[in-house]
């Protein structure tokens, strides 16, 4: 049976059920476009927070 899988940055793919199970198990693909979008937003927010932390450390280091 064919099924759709969704990736946060790649296009949706229509694959056989066995391939779908393998992709979903990898953690990078999702069974819903909403889940893929939520994951992408979560990762983007984590990156922004990490950059803020790195920037704050850099400013403190330059101040010394």
Write the pLDDT tens digit of every residue in 15-55. 999 999 999 999 999 999 999 999 999 999 999 999 888 77
* Pick from 60, 53, 7, 64: nearest CA to 30: 7
Q: What is the pTM of this model?
A: 0.77
The reported pLDDT for the residue numbered 57 is: 73
Average pLDDT rounded to a whole number, residues 8-21: 97
Residue 3 has pLDDT above 90, yes or no: yes
pLDDT band at 1 (very low <50, low <70, confident <90, very high): very high
Rounded distance between C-alpha atoms, residue 38 and residue 21, angstroms: 20
């Amino acid at each position: 049976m064919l099924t759709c899988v969704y990736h946060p940055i790649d296009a949706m793919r229509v694959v056989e059920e066995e391939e779908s199970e393998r992709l979903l198990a990898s953690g990078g693909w999702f069974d819903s476009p909403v889940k893929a979008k939520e994951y992408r937003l979560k990762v983007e927010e984590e990156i922004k927070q990490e950059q803020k932390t790195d920037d704050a450390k850099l400013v403190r280091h330059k101040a010394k």
